[in-house]
Amino acid sequence: MKTARVFAVALLIVAICLALRVTRSQQTGIKRTELQRRDLSISGREAVQVRADFPPGAAVPRHTHPGEELVYVLEGTLEFQLEGQPPVTLKAGEVLFVPAGTVHTAKNVGSGNSTVFSTYIVEKGKPLLTLVQ
């Protein structure tokens, strides 16, 4: 009986966390599609490739990654703000490197949709994205 109660509470906590995650992603309007995730020959590291589609005005809040991010803009115009640096506006065909642990944001500043292709070289088993206040 006690085990069932503990299991029910744990399940409730997981459900709340998932609901918050879905709510946050719906609020930003950004659609993230993980394309692949592969172990690297470097122990404890993995490569993750993601496509992110930004509707006009959509922004990712301040966040970090547990490794490096290599950004390639496929479509549109995005403004990236890396902590301690001036904002950078990128258009289709342009790239950006985000060092590990750097707090940053991204916002679609164009009038149409914007899309990025990001490759992450990160610590395996850690969350890909951690929001920062």
On whether the CB atoms of residues 65 and 48 are closer than 8 A, the answer is no
Question: What pLDDT does residue 11 have?
Answer: 41
Using a cut of 0.85, tell me whether the model's pTM lies above it.
Answer: no
- Please state, as a whole number, how many other Cβ atoms lie within 10 Å of the Cβ of residue 62: 14
pLDDT along the chain (133 residues), means of 10: 53 45 57 97 96 97 97 98 97 98 97 97 95 92
**Domains assigned to the chain:** 30-131 (2.60.120.10)
HSE (side-chain half, CA atoms, 13 Å) at 22: 6
pLDDT attached to residue 3: 61
Q: Do 80 and 70 form a contact (C-beta atoms < 8 A)? A: no
